[in-house]
Amino acid sequence: MRYLLLLCLLAVAPAVSAQRNLTTASREILREGQALYHLERASWVSTDLLQASHFPTRQVMAYFSYTTLDSVRTLFVGGPADKPRVLAEYCFPMAAIAPSTGVRRGPRNLTSAERKLLSVRLKSMADLQRIPGVSLPPNATFNAIVLPKGKQTWVYVLTATTQPGQFLVGNDYLLRYNTSGRLLARQQLHSGAVLLGSQSQTAPVRSTLHFHRADTTPFMTPTDICTLLLYHDRLPGKNHLVLGEKYVSIFSFADTKLTIITRQEFEKSGQK
């Protein structure tokens, strides 16, 4: 009996460890995706506010958002390339990024930390073009999200379509820089792009989904989370699924929860 119990424990331990790893992965992906969402949401609202103020946006050379302890700031930068400065700044409370909560400031000089973020933001657009196979679909633009990560700075690049009522999942990239602004790594997160959006449905839709090929990331990506949070009101159903070769990621809109299970477990559950 003692040996039988040991064998049972040895059989269960890998499964418990694997589940713990999936739980950790889902938690980290969700946290990163929400961070991207806050930054991109602030950029969206700030752009709308700036345009509504009839500011001459042709003066803007670049924009980027970053977080402080409890707020998100979006900077619109212009001026000479060798001496850029903040033309306008919008500040939002982290928990309520909306037109009514934005406080406008500026113009002013950039801080040293902001100059570094701007430098990486500008460099990332040039480095992006050097990634083999990079392309921009028709009626689309690249949106860069700068995310400080300790001794590194990461830049996630999303693709946004200008087609009304629709949005793109995919065609996104991750570039990683060191403290001196040198490119350390670059990664294509999806092998293509899927156009989603509001469409008439002949039957109730429980979930929407897209697929990840075996040669890309096995789980839902932080950029997927960011995009779903930005556009969830344009999708039918309560969940969005990412089906990979070995894993299935399930994102719930109601409680902003990400669950990752094995493909085998998903198929046994009858959700396919």
What's the CA gap between 128 and 120, in Å, rounded? Answer: 12
**Mean pLDDT on 2-30:** 60
For 266, the enclosing helix (H) or strand (E) is helix 263-268
What's the CA gap between 83 and 211, in Å, rounded? Answer: 45
How many residues are given for the chain?
Answer: 272
Say if residue 51 is exposed, middle or buried (CB neighbours under 10 Å; 0-12, 13-18, 19+). Answer: exposed
Calculate Rg over the CA atoms of the chain.
Answer: 21
**Any idea which of 94-98, 179-183, 191-195, 221-225 has the lowest mean pLDDT?**
191-195
pLDDT of 53 > 80? The answer is: yes
Residue 237 belongs to what domain range? Answer: 19-268
Task: Decide if 13 is inside a domain.
Answer: no
pLDDT of 258 > 90? The answer is: yes
Task: Decide if 1 is inside a domain.
Answer: no
Task: Decide if 11 is inside a domain.
Answer: no
- Dmax of the chain from CA atoms? 80
Structure tokens at 2: 């003692």
pLDDT of 271 > 80? The answer is: no
Peptide bond into 107 cis (omega under 30): yes
Q: How confident is the model at residue 105 (pLDDT cuts 50, 70, 90)?
A: very high
Structure tokens at 176: 């990683």
The pLDDT value recorded for residue 18 is 56
* SS3 call for 191: coil
Give per-residue pLDDT as tens, 114-147: 999 999 999 999 999 888 888 888 888 999 999 9
Structure tokens at 217: 């990331």
Helices (H), 109-234: 112-128, 222-231
Task: Decide if 39 is inside a domain.
Answer: yes
Task: Decide if 121 is inside a domain.
Answer: yes
Structure tokens at 236: 């039918």
CA dist 40 → 29, 47, 138, 210 (Å):
16, 11, 21, 22
Give per-residue pLDDT as tens, 228-256: 999 888 888 888 999 999 999 999 999 99
Give per-residue pLDDT as tens, 2-11: 433 333 334 4
Q: How confident is the model at residue 1 (pLDDT cuts 50, 70, 90)?
A: very low
Number of domains in the chain: 1
**Mean pLDDT on 97-115:** 95
Are the beta carbons of 46 and 38 closer than 8 angstroms?
Answer: no
Task: Decide if 3 is inside a domain.
Answer: no
What's the CA gap between 121 and 177, in Å, rounded? Answer: 10
Question: What integer best gives the mean pLDDT of the chain?
Answer: 87
**Any idea which of 79-83, 90-94, 256-260 has the lowest mean pLDDT?**
79-83
Say if residue 182 is exposed, middle or buried (CB neighbours under 10 Å; 0-12, 13-18, 19+). Answer: exposed
**Mean pLDDT on 6-20:** 44
What's the CA gap between 209 and 20, in Å, rounded? Answer: 24
Q: CA neighbours within 13 Å on the CB side: how many for 161?
A: 18
Structure tokens at 11: 């059989």
Q: Which of 47-51, 242-246, 263-267 has the highest mean pLDDT?
A: 47-51
Task: Decide if 131 is inside a domain.
Answer: yes
Task: Decide if 14 is inside a domain.
Answer: no
Give per-residue pLDDT as tens, 162-203: 887 788 888 899 999 999 999 999 999 987 888 877 655 555
The pLDDT value recorded for residue 135 is 85
